[in-house]
A and B are shown apart, each in its own frame.
Chain A
């Protein structure tokens, strides 16, 4: 149980392109999903918290117009990197928490490796 699917796993595109990454909870409902960015050999950096039916909460220094988040259902959140540039190249990982009561740990997708040429 507690499977999170992230798609695509790898994308290469030209500078200026917008890229959408999907995060789906397959066997549970997730009111809250999280988007992270991971640089090589570093830990995860939280970008934003995605809340179903409301606006995402962005961490300090993360441009909300650059990284658009939509969480329209209890099983799907999307991250769109708009007008991507080489400095946006990174490993992006999402996680989801079960809506149930009590402690529900975050379960992670397999990540998306984004390379901007």
Chain B
């Protein structure tokens, strides 16, 4: 079945770039998403990319998609303390646009 995998933790220093990685198994994915969840809150859509794109940039966020390797990454430039959160990778494939979720990567910012 479909599977989305992420590492559970990432620790970076404030001001450095953070790169959160995600791998998925189903090559028929149509859209891939990054959501951010702060403690006790819902999910905030950060960005998404269509499967025929390689890269998408939005201010401090850069999404890279390697469809051949089924690898998605989210780069956050100049990481700030406010970026501390759990980042979920998700994909959709069918017309219902149901999301297949990764387990989430907790981003820890060191001063």
Contact = CB atoms under 8 A, between A and B. Distances in A.
A43 B48 contact: no
How many B residues touch the partner, as a band?
20 to 34
Interface of A: 2, 4, 6, 32, 34, 42-44, 46, 49, 93, 95, 97, 103-111, 113
The 5 closest A-B pairs by CB, nearest first: A108-B43, A110-B42, A108-B42, A111-B42, A43-B101
Given A32-B96, A49-B96, A108-B45, A103 B31 contact: yes
Contact of B41 (A42, A95, A105, A111): A111
A80 B50 CA distance: 35
Nearest to A109: B42
Nearest to B41: A110
Nearest to A104: B97
Nearest to B48: A105
A108 B35 contact: yes
